Structure 1
Amino acid sequence: MDHQSPVSANGLNHWFGEGEAKKQVLFDVNLEVARGSLTVLVGPSGSGKTTVLTLLGCLRDVQDGSVSLLGHELHGANSALLTSLRRRLGFIFQAHNLHNSLTARQNVVMGLDVHGNVDPAQASAAASHVLTLLGLGDRLDYLPANLSGGQKQRVAVARALVGNPDIVFADEPTAALDRESGATVVDMLKRLGRERGTTTVMVTHDNRILDQADRIVTLEDGQIVDDTGAISKAGRPRD
């Protein structure tokens, strides 16, 4: 296994439930992701995509097999290690989960809270910069109630990216966005990959963005059944 990979899984199995209700949902999943690449997980509902994403992103305990994240083994990892690793990650979910009492800029500043003592002026400037890149420069001081669904999702994307994470884990990040907004988000993730080496692992049903992926991994019934690119090809745009 290439230990330079920012995230990898080897022989990953997972079960839900207990006793007679226990059901295996992942079967011997092996995956290595290249630094700076955009890897997309696709497949029908219930295929195991989001389960893989949450295991790779240390949001769910690894039961069987190995997951290496930024050079650290997650199987059996203690809470202190998991907490330190999460500070180096960005998460984008289909539900924006914004605080309704905070402005767009204030919501994004919260993405820097995990980094400890950050200068408030610098944090505000960073939040404003990322929101402007995502087309929300004129909505910095709007409350979520005064934003459209797509605008709220872009605020959530900005919150995930403002801390310059090493890896972004995204679950249906463009589902609530129109074509132009979705393309803006994916373009930004691609640019971060090129310029900063940010790695993105994304679950999506959005066929509009598949052409922008460096690699497409297809899951069915908890197994990888197709993979468009080995790690030697990932991280370079396809022709």
Structure 2
Amino acid sequence: MTNRGEPPIQLKGVNHWFGAGETRIQAIFDASLSIERGSLTILRGPSGSGKTTLLTLMGSLRKVQEGSIRLLGRELRGASEAGQEVLRRRLGFIFQAHNLHESLTARQNTLMGLQVHGPHGDAAKQDAAAVHILESLGLGKRIDYLPEKLSGGQKQRVAIARALVSNPEIVFADEPTAALDKDAGLHVVRMLKALGKTRGTSTVIVTHDARIIDFADRVITIEDGRLVSD
């Protein structure tokens, strides 16, 4: 378990490259920061500035090449794949590409967010949790629809439900409101803020959506792979 006094995300001197030899390009330069428990942090900057790369490094979706990243009290650099997989089960991920299973209903896609924690949970309680969060996201009448019957915004809300249904300790979100109208986008961000206050969930959002900036506890700007303001 994470020490309650230790920030859930800590980066120190992180550098990251893509490619090798003459084609090697540095994407992240000497990134150091701490994300506090229960906070909502926004990463912003121009396209190609390294926001998503930094997000995926923090979320243990890329290997740490240089520097240190501590996630929920565990050092990621040099960590085994098995150890990182255990950590990922404590996280929620929301990406622009919603990656829903086309053969599964909204309810079934959401349930997958619980089943990654093991197949032995109480099926009735899991189903109730899936239905509750879908209803809270305005999908009460679409619970048993397949993705082909959902709009782009509705698919994104299913992806958000899947990420949040397991009550993750940290949520990593890449443009989670891009496919949503103003009201739906603000509702999602308010939900994330509420999770921070009631459950101590930390949220890190990459976004170009100016409508949600005022909800952030902290805004970090990245340019050309460097943290330039905080």
Contact 1:150 / 1:176 at 8 angstroms: preserved in 2?
yes
Which of residues 184, 187, 190 in structure 2 aligns to 1:187?
190
- Which 10-residue stretch deviates more, 17-26 or 56-65? 17-26
* Counterpart residue number, 1:120: 123
Cα offset, 1:3, TM superposition: 6.5
* Counterpart residue number, 1:210: 213
CA distance in 2, matches of 1:192, 1:133: 13
Corresponding letter in the other structure for 1:77: A
Task: Indicate whether 1:25 and 2:27 are aligned.
Answer: yes
Which of residues 48, 54, 59 in structure 1 aligns to 2:61?
59
Structure 1 unmatched ranges of 5 or more: 228-239
SS in 1 for 2:115: helix
String of CA shifts for 1:38-78, please: whole Å, max 9, x gaps: 00000001111011000000000000000000000000000
Corresponding letter in the other structure for 1:129: H
Corresponding letter in the other structure for 1:180: D
Which of residues 145, 169, 188 in structure 2 aligns to 1:142?
145
* Counterpart residue number, 2:226: 223
Task: Indicate whether 1:77 and 2:79 are aligned.
Answer: yes
CA distance in 1, matches of 2:69, 2:222: 18
Alpha-carbon RMSD across the aligned residues, in angstroms, is 1.0
String of CA shifts for 1:11-32, please: whole Å, max 9, x gaps: 0000000111011111110110
* Counterpart residue number, 1:131: 134
How is 1:147-162 mapped onto 2 (pairs within 5 angstroms)?
147-162=150-165
* Counterpart residue number, 2:48: 46
Cα offset, 1:124, TM superposition: 0.8
* Counterpart residue number, 2:200: 197
CA distance in 2, matches of 1:222, 1:214: 22
CA distance in 2, matches of 1:115, 1:14: 30
SS in 2 for 1:28: strand
CA distance in 1, matches of 2:163, 2:121: 16
Which of residues 105, 108, 111 in structure 1 aligns to 2:107?
105
Runs of 4+ in 1 over 3 A off after TM superposition: none
CA distance in 2, matches of 1:22, 1:106: 42
Contact 1:58 / 1:86 at 8 angstroms: preserved in 2?
yes
**Sequence identity, in percent?**
65
Paired residues in the alignment total 226
SS in 2 for 1:24: strand
SS in 2 for 1:183: helix
SS in 2 for 1:59: coil
